[in-house]
Amino acid sequence: MTITGYTHGTGADVPLQRFEVFTGTGRRRDWSDEEKDRIVAESYSGKISVSAVARRYGLSPGQLFTWRRQVRSQAKQDSPPMFVPAVIDRPAEPPPTRRKAITRRALPIGAIELEVGGAIVRIASGTDSATIAAVIQALKAQS
């Protein structure tokens, strides 16, 4: 038995849509792989919704989504794993700073060593504060 009726559409400019009710035991349709592939491809076209494609072929949207999921999982199994070539980009190392080799000599106990702008000033213990201040002022003036 088939009942045909009309219902209001979803848009304001589409007042009626046709619907059909099929009763009875019906039969299970057997879709060929080519038909399924064609319907799934149409559902991926983006021109109409998946539900509209399902309605066009008398399918439930859930069945069409299941077919789409099966196609995606089959495609994953068929394709080899994809690897992206790795490129290691090391930043350029800064050039080594040119420093004169410093020979360390044993300093007398209590001596002070200052390095300012590449110059090394060694102040021995017992040096008066006026001399130390004059050396520091001279270094500041040169920097």
Report, as an integer, the average pLDDT of 115-128.
75
Domain ranges (residues) in the chain: 2-78, 112-142
- The percent of the chain in helix, strand and coil, each rounded to the nearest 5, is 35, 15, 50
pLDDT at site 38: 93
What confidence category does residue 134 fall into, taking pLDDT thresholds of 50, 70 and 90?
confident
Q: pTM of the prediction?
A: 0.39
Neighbours of 56 (CB within 10 A): 12
pLDDT above 60 for 8: no
CATH of domain 2-78: 1.10.10
C-alpha pair distances (Å), 46 with each of 30, 41, 67, 73, 75 = 26, 10, 17, 20, 20
Rounded to an integer, what distance in angstroms lies between the CA atom of residue 71 and that of residue 15? 37
* pLDDT digits 0-9 by tens, 44-87: 988 889 999 999 898 999 999 999 999 888 877 777 766 666 66
Rounded to an integer, what distance in angstroms lies between the CA atom of residue 120 and that of residue 114? 6
CA atoms within a 13 Å half-sphere pointing along the CA-CB vector of 116: 14
Report, as an integer, the average pLDDT of 16-43.
79
Residue 64 near residue 42, CB atoms below 8 Å: no
